[in-house]
Amino acid sequence: MGNKTSRAFFCLASALAVLGGCTGESRAPKDTGDYLILTADAAPPPESSPGPSLGRYITDIPAPRRIAVFFGYGYNSEDFVSQALGCLGSLFADTAEEEVILPLVFPEDFKVGNTPRVSSLADKLAEADLAGIVLLGAPENTHRALGALRAKNTGPYPVVSLFPQDDLLGTEALSDMVLDFEIDGDLDAEAASERKLQEFQKDTPLLLARAVYYISLLDGPLAKNSDLYTHALQLAGPGWKVKPYIDAQTSMHPVNHFVMAKESHE
């Protein structure tokens, strides 16, 4: 994946300790023995996959270009956005969070007159020097806005979509990786999604931070091949089960779409 990725590592210390506020003591890494190199063949099995300790700063990686973070439905409250941005702000030691993270909150930042239009995403990001985009709870037609952005010849850069509410085929086509809830079979999709949103709400700022951090370590888009499963395991980190998404109607598995569930400790 390139020289930048070959020098980039995830912290091995437990991420669970920083779920509440994503804060901790700042100290530089002492040696590479505490880190996992970001290559598919070097990844450990899921049960031992390390996660970043967001209270430990990375000091030997150049500050990336900006990473756009889109806060959609279910993740757009003032309190949640503030918590998530605080978590993201702890990722880089020597670079102000606002210089790296470009937050966009839907619908507030997308109003044309009094009407929110997700299509304006393309205009908002067309001139940004982006390293990537993370979508969280992307609403309907976000994939069309991504297509319009791509048509403006921006990029290439990775796009990760977490828990989308947009058309799945369009989201899969225009994202490098899609991570979704694993839906319970005894519930309809809407009820199950609402339950999972509430269940995972406290964990989402850390998952979002992991996605942003992961993108910051990449040289460009992720190839849509079997290695994506390993990347999904590394991005999710400990405490999560990740498996391929299977379309219930067609039994097909899009190569870049995965579902997550909390690991049971019973």
Name every residue whose Cβ is closer than 8 Å to that of residue 42 and which is 6 or more positions away in sequence. Answer: 36
Work out the average pLDDT over 118-146.
95
Q: Compare 57 and 265 and report the one with higher pLDDT.
A: 265
Q: Compare 238 and 37 and report the one with higher pLDDT.
A: 238
pLDDT for the residue 46: 37
If DSSP codes are grouped into helix, strand and coil, which group holds residue 211? helix
- Using a pLDDT cut of 90, give the percent of the chain over it: 43
pLDDT band (50, 70, 90) for residue 49: very low
Whether residue 48 is predicted with pLDDT greater than 60 in this model: the reply is no
pLDDT for the residue 80: 92
Work out the average pLDDT over 39-56.
39
CB 136 within 8 Å of CB 180: no
- Residue ranges covered by each domain of the chain: 63-262
- Residue 35 CB neighbour total at 10 angstroms: 16
Backbone phi, psi, residue 12, to 5°: -90, -20
Q: Compare 195 and 63 and report the one with higher pLDDT.
A: 195
**Average confidence score pLDDT of the chain:** 75
pLDDT for the residue 35: 31
The one-letter amino acid code at 187 reads L
Name every residue whose Cβ is closer than 8 Å to that of residue 50 and which is 6 or more positions away in sequence. Answer: 10, 11, 12, 13, 36, 44, 237, 238
Which CATH code is given to the segment(s) 63-262? Answer: 3.40.50
Cα pseudo-dihedral 225, 134, 193, 50, rounded to 10: 70
pLDDT per residue over 198-257, tens digit each? 767 788 988 999 999 889 888 889 999 999 999 999 999 888 999 999 988 889 999 999
pLDDT for the residue 257: 97
pLDDT for the residue 1: 42
Work out the average pLDDT over 144-163.
92
pLDDT per residue over 67-116, tens digit each? 999 999 999 999 999 989 888 877 754 555 567 889 999 999 999 888 99
Q: Compare 196 and 214 and report the one with higher pLDDT.
A: 214
Whether residue 37 is predicted with pLDDT greater than 60 in this model: the reply is no
pLDDT band (50, 70, 90) for residue 44: very low
pTM, to two decimals: 0.77
pLDDT band (50, 70, 90) for residue 186: low
CB 33 within 8 Å of CB 65: no
Whether residue 132 is predicted with pLDDT greater than 80 in this model: the reply is yes
pLDDT for the residue 124: 93
Work out the average pLDDT over 11-38.
33
pLDDT for the residue 55: 34
